[in-house]
Structure 1
Amino acid sequence: MDEASIQVDMIEGLEHQLGEPLGASVLTALQRVPRDAFVDDAPHANGASEDAGTRVLAPETVVRLITALDVDEGDDVLVVGAGVGYSVAMLAEIAGARHVHAVDIDREAVSIARSNLSTAGYDAALVDRRDGANGLPEYAPYDRILIEAAVLEPPRALGTQLADDGRIVYPRGTTTQTIVAIEPDDDRASPLDADGDDDAPPGFVTVEKAGPAALRPMLVDGEQAGVERNRTRREEAEYAEQGRFAGHGWEQEWIDWDDRI
C-alpha cells in the first residue's frame, strides 16, 4: 500500500475514533503534512511513541488539541513543547509558518524539531530552546497558545502573553487529564459548568473540553534529558569544564582566604 493510501486510512480511522468529521482546516493539514518526516517508525500508527527520548503524540491526540485550539489563517500561535515538530507543522499549514512559534526546554528536542520541519518544508516556523513556563515574550501577544504537556493550570507568564480575545489549550490534570480550551473570562461564566464550578485559572473560563489525554507533565529547568539532576555533581562538572578560568563562588573565596592565614 502506498503512502497516500495509508494516510487516507489514518484520516478515516481518526474520524471513526473521534465520532465526527474532521474540521476543514485540520483535515487539509493532515492531508498535506507528511507525518513520515516526523515519525520514522510506523508514522500512521494510532498510539504514542518515542523518538530520541521525545514523546511523539498519537494522531488522535494531535487532532483533539488542534481542533480545540480553533486556529485561523494568520493567527499568531505559540506551541509550548515542540516535541518532534509534527503539531508545529500542522499549525504552520493552517496559520502560516511565519505565524507559528514553538519552544522546548530540551535542546535535543529543539534540534530534532528544526530538522524535521526543514525536511517537511516548514522551516519558516520558529523553534527555540526556552523554558516553556516563561513562554516567548518577544513575539507576544499570541492569538492561540498550545501547551503540549500536562499542567493543572497554565503558567502565569503564558496568560500575560495571550491576546485579549485569545485561547489557550492544554491537558488539565496530572494522572487523569482532560484537554481543555480556556479564554479570558470578560466577566462571563463557563458555558460548560452550570453550577459555576470551573477549574480554569483566575481570569479565565473553560469554553471547551475535547476528551481525555495522557501527556507527560511540563518539565522545569534541570529536568530535561541529559541534564544532571544532582546539583552538586552538575556544578562540579561545570566548574571542572571551565577550569582555572572559572570565577570563584563564595565557597572558593573562603578556601582562598583560609590558605592565606
Structure 2
Amino acid sequence: MDPAVLREDMVDGLEHESKAVLENDDVGVAMRDVPRHEFVPDDRTAYADRDHEYLGTRVLSPSVAARVVQALDPRAGDTVLVVGVGVGYTAAVIAELVGETNVHAVDIARPVVYEARDNLARAGYEGVLVDCRDGARGLPEYAPFDRILVEAAAVDPPQALVDQLTADGQLIFPCGTTRQHLEAVSADGSRERYDAVSFDPLLVDGEQSGAIERNRMAREDVEFAQKRAESRRGWELEWLEWE
C-alpha cells in the first residue's frame, strides 16, 4: 500500500476518539508528511502504533511521539535541541514544524548517530544537525534553544540543559524512574506536569550500546565537585572547627 495512505490512516487513528492522543493540527500535518518507514527496520509495521527496538535504542510509537511533540509545542522558526535523538523520527517531525536547519540533535551512541544522519538525509531532512555527545551536557555551541526535548528519563533535568534555554524557552523530559510522567521545565525553573510515559534512562558515557565499561560516576563526580565548590562561603571553612 502507498505509504502516504498508511500515514493518513495512522494519524486518523491518533486523532480518533478511541485514542484521542493527537489534538494539535500542526503536529498532525507534520506526522502525515514524515515518511516513518525510513526510520524503522520493518516497513510492514512502520505505521502501526507500536515501538520499535533498533541498535539498542527505541523508536517511539506514533502515539507517544505525538504526545511528546505536542508537549514540546515547537513553533515555526524556533531553535530546537533533541537529546537522545535515536534513529531520528521525532527530530524529523519537529523539523516539519520549525524548519530542518533549526533542529539540532545529539546522542551518546555513535552508531545511532550515524543511523540518524542517514535516515534523516534519506527522508529529506539532511539539514538537521546530529552530533555524538553526552546529552546531559547539551550542545552549548548552538545555544540558546527555544525548545529542548530529552527523549530519556531523569529524576531532574540536567542543569546544563536548563542553562541552554532562551529566557522564555521550555524543556520537556520524562521525569521519574519506574513511574514516569512528561514534565515541562521553563528557564525560570517553573514546572508543568503531563501524562504518564515510559522511557529508558538518560545514559552517561560508558553506558551506551557497545561501550566497554559503565562509568556513571564520570559525570556525577564533575557535578558534585562543582556544587561543593559553590557551597563554600569563606576561606575559614577550609580549617575551622565549628563545634
The TM-score range, normalised by the shorter chain, is: 0.7 to 0.9
Deviation (angstroms), 1:207: 2.9
**Which residue identity lines up with residue 34 of structure 2 in the other structure?**
V
Secondary structure, aligned partner of 2:116: helix
**Which residue identity lines up with residue 9 of structure 1 in the other structure?**
D
Any stretches of 5+ residues in structure 1 without a counterpart? 186-203, 232-261
| Length-normalised TM-score, structure 2 | 0.83
Q: Give the whole-Å Cα distance in 1 for the aligned partners of 2:46 and 2:55.
A: 15
Are residues 109 and 230 of structure 1, via their aligned partners in 2, closer, same or farther at CA, if it must alter by over 3 Å? closer
Secondary structure, aligned partner of 1:62: helix
In the alignment, which residue of structure 2 is the partner of 1:23?
Answer: 24
Any stretches of 5+ residues in structure 2 without a counterpart? 216-243
Are residues 21 and 108 of structure 1, via their aligned partners in 2, closer, same or farther at CA, if it must alter by over 3 Å? closer
What is the number of residues matched between the two proteins?
Answer: 212
Deviation (angstroms), 1:214: 1.0
| Length-normalised TM-score, structure 1 | 0.78
The 5 Å alignment of 1:4-15 reads 4-15=4-15
In the alignment, which residue of structure 1 is the partner of 2:82?
Answer: 79
Q: Give the whole-Å Cα distance in 2 for the aligned partners of 1:12 and 1:118.
A: 27
Secondary structure, aligned partner of 2:190: strand
Seq. identity, %: 49
**Which residue identity lines up with residue 212 of structure 1 in the other structure?**
A
The 5 Å alignment of 1:227-242 reads 227-229=211-213
Are residues 65 and 230 of structure 1, via their aligned partners in 2, closer, same or farther at CA, if it must alter by over 3 Å? closer
Answer whether contact 1:182 1:208 (CA < 8 A) is retained.
no
**More displaced, 19-28 or 86-95?**
19-28
Answer whether contact 2:206 2:214 (CA < 8 A) is retained.
no
The 5 Å alignment of 1:22-171 reads 22-41=23-42, 42-171=45-174
Secondary structure, aligned partner of 1:50: strand
Answer whether contact 2:22 2:63 (CA < 8 A) is retained.
no
Q: Give the whole-Å Cα distance in 1 for the aligned partners of 2:70 and 2:163.
A: 23
Answer whether contact 1:110 1:129 (CA < 8 A) is retained.
yes
Q: Larger C-alpha radius of gyration, 1 or 2? A: 1
Give the counterpart of 2:198 among 188, 205, 214: 214
Deviation (angstroms), 1:136: 0.2
Segments of 4+ in structure 1 off by > 4 A? none
